[in-house]
Amino acid sequence: MAGIEKIYGNLKQYSELLDWLLEHNPEGVKYLRHDILEAARENIEELLDCDDYPIAQFSSEFDAWLWENCDLQFVREALIWQYNDPENLKEKLENDKKNSLKYLLSQIRIKKTGEIA
């Protein structure tokens, strides 16, 4: 699973997520769609009411971390919508990794040469 769907929301939710990330994992701020701030300058009322503005696009690995750590309801709802069953997201990501061609080739190389590449 590569980086996947965006989280959609409004300006208030963007602000809540930004504050939450700054407090719990500042590295996640890089996944936020900061262009919402520019759009807000043009029409703040619309963005306050609009719940379908893309506010973030996290990697699948970060999604797994969010599922385990984030208590913001709109984030949890977005993860449920994206993954159907995020309870096993870490396991799914690990299985995807193991099934990837790159991983399989590295395992073959290790078995043939005995060296870890």
User: What are the extents of the domains in the chain?
Assistant: 7-86
Q: Residue 69's pLDDT is what?
A: 94
Better-predicted residue by pLDDT, 92 or 23: 23
Average pLDDT over residues 6-29: 94
**Using the 8-state DSSP alphabet, how is residue 5 labeled?**
P
Within 10 angstroms of residue 57's Cβ, the number of other Cβ atoms is 14
Of the listed ranges 7-11, 49-53, 109-113, the least confidently predicted one is 109-113
Among 81, 37, 36, which Cα is nearest to 63's? 81
For the CA atoms of 27, 29, 30, 34, the dihedral, rounded to the nearest 10 degrees, stands at -170
- Residue 74 CA to chain centroid, in angstroms? 13
